[in-house]
Amino acid sequence: MADRQEPVHPGDGEVVVEAPDRQPRLGERLAFDGRWLGIPVGRAWIEVKELVEIDGRPAYHIEAYGETNDVLSTFYPIRDTLHTYLDPDTLRPLRFEKDQREGRYRAHEVVTFDHGKRLATYTSLLNGSVKEITLPEAFHDLIGALYWFRAQPIAPDSQLTMSLYTDEKIYETQVVIKPPMLLELLKRGTFPCLVVEPKASFKGLLVKRGRIWAYMTADRHRIPLMVQATTPWGRMSAVIDETSLGAILGGRDQGS
């Protein structure tokens, strides 16, 4: 049986959208299995590791990692590691680090954010180049955007707009919240979900001719259960693994 999504019809009962947790949960680790055209291609995980100090300020240290499996690595190996350090109050980034290895492409960079001056300082650890980027008053990086969004009191059939920093630029990004659905995940249960569609086009996240949808639980945890994307190279997906889901939900009944 494959993972599937079912729309919530009036006869199914109303999905209750709970108020979200407003802060990341220390120790939360979400792992995902990636597929391309239904074929396993790799794994990824993201973890809220600890509270640290960045220039004398407290910050959440969050790490993300993704890699291809042995089969895909034969043709196109991927090993990406990202670190972000987020202000606990605003969830805006104070520092961002990326070590990207995709095929023959390499990038190793550190970005520091001065919110007072509205400047980001980008430093390449490969060639030593330095660049300054002007920032808007409010923005998020790729990792921080997930945790900021999970903390928002969103409602179905609405839309949020955010400024997103990536690849030395700021992108205006709209996130459309669609009607709720029941998402059935093999061996995991059936979950009332909010369905969101970010609309932006930039290297590393979306392609101009593709679309992406994320399915998040409608309870206070706002757990990202599955991401699906259509691309010129076929449908891709990432589904949360059973261990991650069980660690967050604990003894709560996961099925419907």
In sequence order, which residues have a C-beta less than 8 Å from that of residue 22 and are 6 or more positions away? 151
The residue assigned the tokens 């969101």 is 196
- Work out the mean pLDDT of the chain and round it to a whole number: 88
Per the model's pLDDT, the better-predicted residue between 209 and 217 turns out to be 217
The single-letter DSSP state of residue 16 is P
Convert the pLDDT of each residue in 193-210 to its tens digit: 999 998 875 554 444 557
21, pLDDT greater than 80: yes
In sequence order, which residues have a C-beta less than 8 Å from that of residue 248 and are 6 or more positions away? 28, 30, 221, 223
Give residue 108's pLDDT band: very low, low, confident or very high (50, 70, 90).
very high
The single-letter DSSP state of residue 14 is P
For residue 250, the model assigns a pLDDT of: 73
Rounded alpha-carbon distances, angstroms, from residue 150 to 7, 45, 155: 22, 17, 12
* 254 close to 242: Cβ distance less than 8 angstroms: no
Amino acid at 162: M
* 254 close to 189: Cβ distance less than 8 angstroms: yes
9, pLDDT greater than 80: no
Give residue 188's pLDDT band: very low, low, confident or very high (50, 70, 90).
confident
Give residue 256's pLDDT band: very low, low, confident or very high (50, 70, 90).
very low
Q: What average pLDDT does this structure show over 69-78?
A: 92
Amino acid at 191: F
* pTM confidence score: 0.88
Percent of the chain whose pLDDT exceeds 70: 89
251, pLDDT greater than 70: no
Convert the pLDDT of each residue in 156-180 to its tens digit: 889 999 999 998 999 988 999 998 8
The residue assigned the tokens 């990341």 is 24
Convert the pLDDT of each residue in 30-68 to its tens digit: 999 999 998 999 999 999 999 999 989 999 999 999 999
Helix (H) or strand (E) holding 65: strand 57-68
Q: How far apart are CA 121 and CA 133, in angstroms?
A: 7
Span of 13-17, 79-83, 109-113, 152-156 with lowest mean pLDDT: 13-17
